[in-house]
A and B are shown apart, each in its own frame.
Chain A
Amino acid sequence: MADLATYLLTGLGLVFFIAGTVGLVRFPDQFSRLHALTKGDNLGLGFIALGVAFQAESWAQLAMLALIWVLALLAAGTVAQLVARAALTEQDKP
């Protein structure tokens, strides 16, 4: 049962990662790229961490996985804001 959950969740995380990368490559506008990238980022990493969590043997590993995902969430959120600000400042330049 745990293996099945791992298969499904890591597959789902993979789909989000591929969508994030394709979005980053294909989208015309900087901010839509940033949107696709952060979406793929957070959800992809979250599902892969969840999928791998089913394989974890001890509580310490589960706690570590959750910690990584929470850090990635916070980091990606704030970084997306900051990079969008930098992109905004760049556009206004004469």
Chain B
Amino acid sequence: MTVWLHIVAIVLLASLGGALWRVWRGRSQADRMMAAQLIGTSGVAVLIVLAALQDWTLLVVAFALALLAALAAVGFVTSQSPDGAGDPEEAHPPKGWRDRGRNG
């Protein structure tokens, strides 16, 4: 049983590596954010498998990681639009709105 769970953990890490490739190559920001979401979730899955293998208190760590992965994506979305709503229905933002924050 432990051998199988080790194999599962290793293959999960391999799938995490595949998602990292998308982070590196993803043309748009949204692609990178999707991959970060998948990395967060496969991290949670690895932690769950390790909890079964070694110590059951790792489940709390997996819970915290699942929470943080969600908050990371929310942070990304709020940084995308000027008023932070990330709402496509609002009027098209004016030209050059993206870097108004950085160089005034």
Contact = CB atoms under 8 A, between A and B. Distances in A.
Given A86-B81, A94-B95, 4 more contacts: A18-B11, A45-B44, A55-B52, A79-B37
A87 B30 CA distance: 5
A10 B95 CA distance: 49
Contacts, number: 159
A72 B33 contact: no
B18 A65 contact: no
Contacts of B19: 21, 24-25
Given A14-B8, A34-B34, A79 B70 contact: yes
Interface residues of A, number: 53
Nearest to A84: B30
Interface of A: 3, 6-7, 10-11, 13-14, 17-18, 20-22, 24-25, 30, 33-34, 37, 40-41, 44-45, 48-49, 52, 55-58, 61, 64-65, 67-68, 71-72, 74-76, 78-80, 82-90, 92, 94
Nearest to B8: A10
Interface of B: 1, 4-5, 8, 11-12, 15-16, 18-19, 21-22, 28-31, 33-35, 37-38, 41-42, 44-45, 48-49, 51-52, 56, 59-60, 62-63, 66-67, 69-70, 73-74, 76-77, 80-81, 86-88, 92, 95
B56 A30 contact: no
B86 A30 contact: no
A37 B30 contact: no
Contact of B38 (A3, A20, A52, A65): A20
Contacts of A92: 88, 92
Contacts of B16: 21
B59 A61 contact: yes
